[in-house]
Structure 1
Protein backbone atom coordinates (compact mmCIF):
# COMPACT_ATOMS: atom_id res chain seq x y z
CA UNK A 1 0.00 0.00 0.00
CA UNK A 2 1.24 3.47 -0.84
CA UNK A 3 0.47 6.42 1.42
CA UNK A 4 0.05 10.06 0.36
CA UNK A 5 -0.50 13.30 2.28
CA UNK A 6 -3.01 15.87 0.99
CA UNK A 7 -1.28 19.20 0.50
CA UNK A 8 -2.03 22.65 -0.92
CA UNK A 9 -1.44 23.02 -4.65
CA UNK A 10 -2.12 26.62 -5.64
CA UNK A 11 -5.69 27.41 -4.54
CA UNK A 12 -6.62 23.70 -4.48
CA UNK A 13 -5.61 20.59 -2.61
CA UNK A 14 -3.89 17.55 -4.02
CA UNK A 15 -1.24 14.95 -3.43
CA UNK A 16 2.05 14.19 -5.13
CA UNK A 17 2.56 10.83 -6.82
CA UNK A 18 5.93 9.28 -6.11
CA UNK A 19 7.97 7.68 -8.89
CA UNK A 20 6.87 4.29 -7.58
CA UNK A 21 3.18 5.25 -7.72
CA UNK A 22 3.56 6.64 -11.23
CA UNK A 23 5.29 3.44 -12.34
CA UNK A 24 2.53 1.28 -10.84
CA UNK A 25 -0.17 3.39 -12.51
CA UNK A 26 1.86 3.51 -15.74
CA UNK A 27 1.41 7.29 -16.01
CA UNK A 28 3.78 10.13 -16.72
CA UNK A 29 3.70 13.86 -16.06
CA UNK A 30 0.75 15.44 -17.88
CA UNK A 31 -1.39 12.27 -18.02
CA UNK A 32 -4.93 12.33 -16.67
CA UNK A 33 -6.05 9.97 -13.91
CA UNK A 34 -9.61 9.26 -12.81
CA UNK A 35 -11.09 8.77 -9.35
CA UNK A 36 -13.80 6.13 -9.62
CA UNK A 37 -16.03 4.44 -7.07
CA UNK A 38 -15.14 0.82 -6.42
CA UNK A 39 -17.78 -1.89 -5.89
CA UNK A 40 -16.75 -2.22 -2.23
CA UNK A 41 -17.68 1.42 -1.54
CA UNK A 42 -14.10 2.69 -1.68
CA UNK A 43 -12.42 4.69 -4.41
CA UNK A 44 -9.87 3.83 -7.06
CA UNK A 45 -7.38 6.03 -8.92
CA UNK A 46 -6.88 4.81 -12.47
CA UNK A 47 -5.45 6.16 -15.72
CA UNK A 48 -8.31 4.53 -17.63
CA UNK A 49 -11.44 6.52 -18.45
CA UNK A 50 -14.37 4.27 -17.43
CA UNK A 51 -16.81 6.13 -19.71
CA UNK A 52 -14.55 5.61 -22.72
CA UNK A 53 -14.17 1.94 -21.81
CA UNK A 54 -17.98 1.50 -21.74
CA UNK A 55 -18.26 3.26 -25.11
CA UNK A 56 -15.63 0.97 -26.63
CA UNK A 57 -17.38 -2.13 -25.25
CA UNK A 58 -20.64 -0.98 -26.82
CA UNK A 59 -18.89 -0.20 -30.13
CA UNK A 60 -17.40 -3.71 -30.18
CA UNK A 61 -20.87 -5.19 -29.58
CA UNK A 62 -22.31 -3.18 -32.46
CA UNK A 63 -19.44 -4.12 -34.76
CA UNK A 64 -19.97 -7.79 -33.93
CA UNK A 65 -23.74 -7.66 -34.43
CA UNK A 66 -23.66 -5.62 -37.64
CA UNK A 67 -20.43 -6.96 -39.17
CA UNK A 68 -22.00 -7.61 -42.59
CA UNK A 69 -23.59 -4.16 -42.78
CA UNK A 70 -20.36 -2.42 -41.77
CA UNK A 71 -18.38 -4.47 -44.29
CA UNK A 72 -20.79 -3.44 -47.08
CA UNK A 73 -20.60 0.23 -46.05
CA UNK A 74 -16.79 0.10 -46.08
CA UNK A 75 -16.72 -0.78 -49.80
Structure 2
Protein backbone atom coordinates (compact mmCIF):
# COMPACT_ATOMS: atom_id res chain seq x y z
CA UNK A 1 0.00 0.00 0.00
CA UNK A 2 1.21 3.48 -0.84
CA UNK A 3 0.16 6.71 0.83
CA UNK A 4 -0.29 10.16 -0.64
CA UNK A 5 -1.81 13.43 0.52
CA UNK A 6 -4.51 15.64 -0.90
CA UNK A 7 -3.77 19.36 -0.95
CA UNK A 8 -5.64 22.42 -2.10
CA UNK A 9 -4.42 24.26 -5.19
CA UNK A 10 -6.67 27.16 -6.16
CA UNK A 11 -10.23 25.84 -6.28
CA UNK A 12 -9.10 22.24 -6.81
CA UNK A 13 -7.88 19.39 -4.66
CA UNK A 14 -4.69 17.73 -5.92
CA UNK A 15 -3.30 14.30 -5.14
CA UNK A 16 0.43 13.86 -5.64
CA UNK A 17 1.63 10.69 -7.39
CA UNK A 18 5.13 9.62 -6.46
CA UNK A 19 7.67 8.44 -8.99
CA UNK A 20 7.00 4.89 -7.83
CA UNK A 21 3.27 5.31 -8.48
CA UNK A 22 3.92 6.73 -11.95
CA UNK A 23 6.22 3.80 -12.73
CA UNK A 24 3.64 1.25 -11.59
CA UNK A 25 0.99 2.89 -13.77
CA UNK A 26 3.51 3.25 -16.63
CA UNK A 27 2.61 6.92 -17.08
CA UNK A 28 4.47 10.21 -17.06
CA UNK A 29 3.52 13.81 -16.22
CA UNK A 30 1.03 15.09 -18.79
CA UNK A 31 -0.53 11.66 -19.45
CA UNK A 32 -4.24 11.13 -18.81
CA UNK A 33 -5.47 8.82 -16.06
CA UNK A 34 -8.99 7.48 -15.83
CA UNK A 35 -10.69 7.00 -12.47
CA UNK A 36 -13.16 4.13 -12.19
CA UNK A 37 -15.32 3.55 -9.14
CA UNK A 38 -15.56 -0.08 -8.07
CA UNK A 39 -18.71 -1.77 -6.77
CA UNK A 40 -17.22 -1.62 -3.28
CA UNK A 41 -16.77 2.17 -3.48
CA UNK A 42 -13.04 1.96 -4.18
CA UNK A 43 -11.40 4.04 -6.88
CA UNK A 44 -9.04 2.64 -9.50
CA UNK A 45 -6.55 4.71 -11.47
CA UNK A 46 -6.14 3.41 -15.01
CA UNK A 47 -3.71 4.65 -17.67
CA UNK A 48 -6.29 4.03 -20.40
CA UNK A 49 -10.03 4.37 -20.74
CA UNK A 50 -11.43 0.91 -19.89
CA UNK A 51 -14.27 1.30 -22.41
CA UNK A 52 -11.80 2.05 -25.21
CA UNK A 53 -9.53 -0.82 -24.14
CA UNK A 54 -12.53 -3.19 -24.16
CA UNK A 55 -13.62 -1.98 -27.61
CA UNK A 56 -10.09 -2.38 -29.00
CA UNK A 57 -9.87 -5.91 -27.59
CA UNK A 58 -13.22 -6.79 -29.19
CA UNK A 59 -12.09 -5.32 -32.53
CA UNK A 60 -8.88 -7.29 -32.34
CA UNK A 61 -10.85 -10.51 -31.78
CA UNK A 62 -13.04 -9.75 -34.81
CA UNK A 63 -9.99 -8.99 -36.95
CA UNK A 64 -8.30 -12.22 -35.83
CA UNK A 65 -11.42 -14.27 -36.64
CA UNK A 66 -11.79 -12.63 -40.08
CA UNK A 67 -8.17 -12.07 -41.04
CA UNK A 68 -8.43 -13.78 -44.47
CA UNK A 69 -11.60 -11.91 -45.40
CA UNK A 70 -10.14 -8.58 -44.31
CA UNK A 71 -6.95 -9.20 -46.29
CA UNK A 72 -9.03 -10.00 -49.37
CA UNK A 73 -10.94 -6.75 -48.96
CA UNK A 74 -7.77 -4.67 -48.51
TM-score computed with the length of structure 1 as normaliser: 0.79
User: Which residue of the partner structure matches residue 9 of structure 1?
Assistant: 9
Q: Secondary structure of 2:59's partner?
A: helix
Name the structure 2 match of 1:45: 45
In the other structure, the counterpart of 2:57 is: 57
Q: What's the CA shift for 1:10?
A: 2.6
Ranges in structure 2 where 5+ consecutive residues have no aligned partner: none
- How many residues align? The count is 74
Following the alignment from structure 2 to structure 1, what is the Cα–Cα distance between the partners of residues 61 and 22?
33
Unaligned runs of 5+ in 1: none
Tell me how far apart the structure 2 counterparts of residues 39 and 48 of structure 1 sit (CA, whole Å): 19
Deviations 1:5-52 (A, max 9, x none): 211123211211112211222211101111113355422112122112
> Which residue is equivalent to 1:32?
32
What SS does the aligned partner of 1:7 have? strand
How high is the TM-score relative to the length of structure 2?
0.80
Alpha-carbon separation, structure 1, partners of 2:3 and 2:30: 21
Q: Secondary structure at the match of 1:14?
A: strand
